[in-house]
Structure 1
Amino acid sequence: MRVQDVIKKKRHVVHTIPAQRTVEDAIVQMTERRTSALIVMDGEQPAGIFTERDVLRCHVAWRHRLFREMPLSEAMTDKLIVAQPDDLVSSAMAMMIKADIRHLPVVEDQRISLMLTISDLVKHHVGELTAELHYLQEYITDLQDAVQD
């Protein structure tokens, strides 16, 4: 199964914010858009990602500063780990687990087309396991019927 199979069911909305904004701006935008991550943009290019985890990290690191005084460029995660649509779902999950991240931007045609979350992958995996379980239950029922005949 490929990432593109998971993303077919997902809205293709990527929430972005300019790198020149503040942490407070990002928190407000995340709250208004009901999202847990924003792609931080430097002009037309992604410069990083800002997540709920970054909010906690910058609060602890800079307790003496107000969120409205913290430049987003200082608080964001600047190492952007991305997936491609033709990546295996198992590879995307492995990347997220290894990097201990919950958001994985998907890049198509050299731009971020959507944000894949660990929740998306878990839901997809559970769906696959449920379908497999149903298939195995039918198979066992068929075997039991064949033995009784």
Structure 2
Amino acid sequence: MKDIDFDQAGEITMQPEIQTDLLIFEIDQKDFVDPVTNRLKQVIRDTVRLEFLDDSYIQNDLEQVEFSFKYRNAFSQGFFNKISFLSENNALQHQVSFYIGGGSAGNPAVTEKIELIGPERIQIIKRSIKMVVEIEVLPNNEPFTGKLNFESKGLFSFQF
């Protein structure tokens, strides 16, 4: 039988990972129409509060996060996408921007973006509480009809 050294218990660390959905939506051409003027809006945006980012286990033990953003675009138009992470008082902490290619109903274009925030920059996420998704239509001469699906996830890595 071996001796157990309980003094080494403080050296034990756990590094769990948790994956969670952040924001999922599907929009179509109606979502780009201003209800007051009935005219096409060039830009639409949605804001979601990520309340869990304020939890103590995030604030104390989050080491890194890998965000994945995926669009499936059945519009013939492309879009410019901007995802912003904001503090409680709306100060910009981090931003991810990328182009979403045009597709069609029968062949939607898939655009995926992975954003890794490591230990050296993790404070920008710890200071965030809101995620704003802003989508700008890049007009062309084709009819403006289709659907745009969005999925976002976060893979949160901790060290306890």
Q: TM-score range by the shorter chain?
A: under 0.3
Is the helix fraction higher in 1 or 2?
1
TM-score of the pair, normalised by structure 2 = 0.24
> Please, what TM-score do these two structures have when normalized by structure 1?
0.25
When you count strand as a share of all residues, which structure comes out higher? 2
